[in-house]
Chain A
Amino acid sequence: MLKMENVSKIYRTNLIETHALRKVDLHIGAGEFVSVTGPSGSGKTTFLNLAGLLETFEEGDFYLDGQNVKGLNDNQLSELRNEKIGFIFQSFNLLPELPLFDNVDVPLRYRGFNAKERKERIEEALEIVGLSSRKQHLPTQLSGGQQQRVAIARAIAGQPKFLLADEPTGNLDSLMAQQVMELLEKINQQGTTIIMVTHDDQLARRAHRNIQIFDGQVSDLAKDQTDVLIKSA
């Protein structure tokens, strides 16, 4: 589970203080599929960065899988991130000079798995996303949808408890987006908690629950409330 209590994030420059997130209280249970929506600049990405331990926060407590991450040092955060979180990005963020196999291999290398285990996990992950036959291809030889599936394979290869997806379908056409969404739902059904930032209302409605962020403040809505809100919008 993921639990935030009074978490705030402030960006400071010499002249300006920007409150990106204000006193967020949130609980996401194991196995949930949560969508995060909100207007541009509302703090969605900041929320995802905090949830993914990519940034630190100033106030509050944050429990990831039961462990309070406040005060952990950079090494500990890196280990936790590597072990418990998989990331899917809008722009895929694959390493263009590496074949698919090596791209999926990256987080496993930092996990310290041996070669045999890495190979098994990579092949299994590529199998799940339907790209096992193209493991030696370079990302540039694939379509956008296929590249995002490789990114999903990379995210799930380490079998993390949480998948954080930032606009995973933002760069895809509707058919590809549909395929990626189905893949995420399939992964969620196997027990992985998914938090997905999206602008797409249709996709947001497919989640168990929707979190709306406005001006750094979180409104946590159940699925039926989400439907009402989206329909009335």
Chain B
Amino acid sequence: MFAYNAKLAFKSLNDRPSLTVLMVAAIAVGLGLFMTMLTLGHQSSKIPIPHISQQIHLVQLDNREVTADDVDNFNDMVDLTYQDTNNLLNLDIAGAEQTLAWNTYGILNVEQQEIQPQRSSVVATNHAFFSMFEVPFLYGKGWESDADQFGQAVIVLSKASNDYLFGGINSVGQQVRLNTQVLTVVGVLDDWFLVRKFYDRSYRQAGPDEAFVPSNFAFNNDLPRNARFDCWSTTNNPRKFSTNYLTELKTSECAWITFWAKLPQDNKQDYQAQLGQYIDTQKSLGRFPRDNQYFLTNINDQLIIINGSGGRQEMLGMISYMFFAVCLINAVSILLAKFMRRTKEVSLRRALGAKKRTILQQHLIEVIFIGVIGGLLGIGFTYLGLQAMLRVNLYASDYRNTVAELMPYHQMDWEMIMAAFSVSVGCTLLVGLYPIWRICNVSPASQLKAQ
């Protein structure tokens, strides 16, 4: 009976094909837009390094003046000063790994004349950065702790930089020039899909920076500091610290360095206690005028707050949901009209012995057919939608991001493909219930009399 009903359902799709096409198109277009937004949301809501994301904490100390506003989440809190960064790095906290990161930039080039020098974004950090964030390496590895201490001229290149400067070969041991300084390559990153660029707190959908150098190397060579300096009323014109006044910056209360600690669950309370003690010690030196306050926020909690203020994405999401709902209402109207044209046939079939559940099965199969076809086409529309959004986001980023960087955020994974099918079939079934209910309740005697 199933095969017979499937045959009837398929036949019914061919009856008035224009109506079928209209109905499937309504579902597919609505689903396409809906899944485009759902995919973007899904990809951007992924957690970076998910298996350790709850252990990786952003560390922030509230060194602000007494009159500063109260803050209740990490996103409004300042980062660390140079002196706090150094002090915390020097604290020997058992089980905790710590790293820092600040952004700089410079001109990268190599000896070969045919390679044009390239302005590159560079992260100043320490050796723990690579192990804490489980950075994938294609060649070599991160530098040793000695390099941090002495500010050695070593560099880790991103895969893209290595491809550009060295044609993708193993460049470990080779030399590159950053502005006027010569550095030795110690490692080359592999593809590193960050989900969100969390380590510099930009949370952008972008790949890693082009190079990484020891923080002390950057200080020793006075590399520019591409940072936001939160100096409150203690310093006038903090932007001057971007390229000058390094000595003053090192002793100032300006917060600008992102600081991270990897804390296994058991160690979090110890670490918090150490931070408390540290603040108390600093208070005795006349710093930290406010009540003790520090923020230890893991990556998961950061993204909850960041994603909570969805802005444009949220608005587009709402529009897509409503558009899909309108498309479904259109589809159900067409489906109802299509089914109700068939009342005479259903009445006859009922008279000839078809049970209600047989009629139900036939129409359920038809609705599922429509849902599956709508789902398939909807996935096609989703692909087009994601390609369009990729172009929009490239434009929105002022072409600072590359297609390759943004592509992972604009791709459907299997989870999304399955979701598209489920949404299509599920929603079509849901909106098809009323037409199916109507057709199943056609009385066997209602349409048989001569017209």
Interfacial chain A residues near B349, Cβ < 8 Å? 106, 110
For A90, the closest partner residue in chain B by CB is: B450
Decide: A75 and B355 in contact? CB cutoff 8 A. Answer: yes
Interfacial chain A residues near B344, Cβ < 8 Å? 93
State how many angstroms separate the Cβ of B283 from the closest Cβ of chain A.
Answer: 83
Q: Within 8 Å of chain A (Cβ to Cβ): is B11?
A: yes
The 0/1 profile, CB within 8 Å of A marked 1, for residues 1-43 of chain B is 1001000000100010000000000000000000000000000
Interfacial chain A residues near B353, Cβ < 8 Å? 78-79, 81-83, 107, 110-111
Q: Do most interface residues of chain B lie in helix, strand or loop, or is the interface mixed?
A: loop
Contact of A55 among B348, B357, B445 (CB under 8 A): B445
Q: Within 8 Å of chain A (Cβ to Cβ): is B444?
A: yes
Interfacial chain B residues near A95, Cβ < 8 Å? 345, 348
Task: Among B345, B358, B448, find the residue whose CB has the most chain A CB atoms closer than 10 A.
Answer: B448
- Asked, given contacts A75-B357, A97-B11, whether A45 binds B449 with beta carbons under 8 Å apart, the answer is yes
Give B357-395 interface residues, CB cut-off 8 Å to A: 357-358
Decide: A54 and B445 in contact? CB cutoff 8 A. Answer: yes
Interfacial chain B residues near A81, Cβ < 8 Å? 351-353, 444
Q: Within 8 Å of chain A (Cβ to Cβ): is B451?
A: yes
Q: Within 8 Å of chain B (Cβ to Cβ): is A201?
A: no
State how many angstroms separate the Cβ of B342 from the closest Cβ of chain A.
Answer: 10
Interfacial chain B residues near A45, Cβ < 8 Å? 449
Decide: A91 and B445 in contact? CB cutoff 8 A. Answer: no
Interfacial chain A residues near B354, Cβ < 8 Å? 78, 110
State how many angstroms separate the Cβ of A168 from the closest Cβ of chain B.
Answer: 11
CA distance A27 to B369 in the complex (A): 49
- Asked, given contacts A49-B445, A109-B1, A112-B1, whether A91 binds B450 with beta carbons under 8 Å apart, the answer is yes
The 0/1 profile, CB within 8 Å of A marked 1, for residues 216-248 of chain B is 000000000000000000000000000000000
Q: Within 8 Å of chain A (Cβ to Cβ): is B356?
A: yes
- Asked, given contacts A54-B444, A54-B445, A55-B445, whether A87 binds B11 with beta carbons under 8 Å apart, the answer is no
Decide: A107 and B352 in contact? CB cutoff 8 A. Answer: yes
CA distance A75 to B59 in the complex (A): 70
Give A76-111 interface residues, CB cut-off 8 Å to B: 78-79, 81-83, 87, 89-91, 93, 95, 97, 106-107, 109-111
State how many angstroms separate the Cβ of A143 from the closest Cβ of chain B.
Answer: 17
Q: Within 8 Å of chain A (Cβ to Cβ): is B443?
A: yes
Decide: B4 and A109 in contact? CB cutoff 8 A. Answer: yes
The 0/1 profile, CB within 8 Å of A marked 1, for residues 422-451 of chain B is 000000000000000000000111001111
CA distance A78 to B357 in the complex (A): 11
State how many angstroms separate the Cβ of B13 from the closest Cβ of chain A.
Answer: 13
Interfacial chain B residues near A79, Cβ < 8 Å? 353, 355
Decide: B15 and A97 in contact? CB cutoff 8 A. Answer: yes
Give B43-94 interface residues, CB cut-off 8 Å to A: none
Give A135-181 interface residues, CB cut-off 8 Å to B: 154, 166-167, 170-171
Given contact pairs A81-B352, A89-B450, a sample of 5 additional A-B residue pairs in the complex whose CB atoms are under 8 Å apart: A87-B448, A89-B449, A107-B353, A110-B352, A110-B354
Q: Which residues of A contact B (CB under 8 A)?
A: 45, 49, 52, 54-55, 74-75, 78-79, 81-83, 87, 89-91, 93, 95, 97, 106-107, 109-112, 154, 166-167, 170-171
Chosen A-B contacts, 29 in total, with CB atoms closer than 8 Å, are A49-B445, A54-B351, A54-B443, A54-B444, A55-B445, A75-B355, A78-B353, A78-B355, A78-B356, A79-B353, A81-B351, A81-B353, A81-B444, A82-B353, A83-B353, A89-B448, A89-B450, A90-B449, A90-B450, A93-B344, A93-B448, A97-B15, A106-B352, A110-B349, A110-B354, A110-B355, A110-B358, A166-B448, A170-B450
